[in-house]
């Protein structure tokens, strides 16, 4: 499944179900102010505007993450290009979403927890599985090994032990897949951290990652 069919199809389907014609507001979350404002399409730099228009064409609207990143065309383009490239890799669409969820859970990013719970549904994840993934758990043993490795990368800032690397390999992940797990962790750390800095307003059905941190 491509990035477009997992992320964009799921988002478009949700947008259509909401029958919204404009950008969602903070109705899914307590009202707060962004610290870096999301740019209306008309106010975005020209190069960013073209990227936002492409996203709008694909999914019917522009997520606040994208329109906030749009202050820097370089950052927006880098993120979109990385996501598109990794979607052609060896990991399944479901596992890509699950890595995003465990990363959001570890970093307490409500925006990404909400976004990837929705897009995970489009990749075939049940609500229960997505909730478990935020906690680093899965009903599937191979997926569990991948999530544990991703958590180890996060917790140890990449300095995983020989045993942790051997364990994920023993679960059936080759070197290319291990490389991509790390790449997905890095990409999602970027969006988690950026959302914390910007205080991005959530424009997805709300799923809280921060309650997990308080548990």
Taking the C-alpha atoms of residue 38 and residue 15, their distance in angstroms, rounded to an integer, is 19
What tokens were used for 156? 């140890």
Mean pLDDT, the chain, rounded, equals 88
On whether both 103 and 76 belong to a single domain, the answer is no
- Number of structural domains (the chain) is 2
On whether both 55 and 109 belong to a single domain, the answer is no
The answer to the question of residue 27 being in a domain is no
The answer to the question of residue 132 being in a domain is yes
The domain boundary residue, chosen from 86, 105, 125: 86
On whether both 129 and 161 belong to a single domain, the answer is yes
Q: Name, in order, each residue with C-beta under 8 angstroms of 167's C-beta and a sequence gap of 6 or more.
A: 145, 148, 149
Give the largest CA-CA distance in the chain: 52
What tokens were used for 109? 């990013």
The domain boundary residue, chosen from 53, 70, 86: 86
The answer to the question of residue 178 being in a domain is yes
The answer to the question of residue 31 being in a domain is no
The answer to the question of residue 209 being in a domain is no
What would the pLDDT profile of 24-83 be if each residue is shown by its tens digit? 434 444 457 999 999 999 999 999 999 999 999 988 889 999 999 999 999 999 999 999
Q: On the CB side of 37, how many CA atoms lie within 13 Å of its CA?
A: 5
pTM (two decimals): 0.87
Angle 121-122-125 (CA atoms, 0-180°, nearest 5)? 35
Domain that holds residue 144: 93-202
On whether both 176 and 137 belong to a single domain, the answer is yes
Region for residue 10 given its phi and psi (left: phi exceeds 0; alpha: psi -120 to 50; beta: otherwise): alpha
The pLDDT of residue 14: 52
On whether both 193 and 120 belong to a single domain, the answer is yes
Q: Over 70: is that where the pLDDT of 107 sits?
A: yes
On whether both 106 and 180 belong to a single domain, the answer is yes
What tokens were used for 141? 């043993």
The answer to the question of residue 215 being in a domain is no
What would the pLDDT profile of 183-194 be if each residue is shown by its tens digit? 999 999 999 999
**Of all residues in the chain, what percent carry a pLDDT higher than 70?**
83
Taking the C-alpha atoms of residue 75 and residue 44, their distance in angstroms, rounded to an integer, is 13
């Amino acid at each position: 499944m491509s990035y477009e069919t997992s992320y964009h199809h799921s988002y478009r389907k949700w947008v259509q179900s909401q029958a919204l014609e404009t950008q969602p507001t903070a109705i899914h979350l307590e009202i707060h102010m962004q610290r870096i404002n999301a740019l209306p399409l008309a106010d975005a730099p020209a190069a960013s505007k073209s990227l936002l228009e492409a996203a709008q064409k694909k999914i019917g609207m522009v997520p606040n993450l994208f329109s906030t990143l749009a202050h820097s065309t370089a950052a927006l383009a880098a993120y979109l290009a990385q996501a598109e490239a990794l979607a052609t890799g060896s990991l399944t669409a479901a596992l890509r979403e699950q890595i995003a969820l465990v990363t959001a859970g570890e970093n307490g990013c409500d925006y990404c927890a909400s976004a990837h719970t929705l897009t995970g549904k489009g990749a075939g994840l049940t609500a229960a599985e997505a909730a478990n993934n935020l906690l680093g758990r899965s009903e599937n043993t191979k997926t569990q090994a991948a999530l544990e490795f991703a958590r180890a990368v996060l917790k140890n800032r990449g300095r995983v032990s020989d045993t942790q690397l051997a364990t994920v390999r023993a679960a059936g992940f080759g070197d290319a897949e291990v490389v991509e797990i790390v790449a997905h962790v890095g990409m999602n750390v970027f969006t988690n951290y950026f959302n914390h800095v910007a205080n991005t307003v959530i424009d997805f059905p709300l799923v809280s990652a921060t309650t997990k941190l308080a548990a």
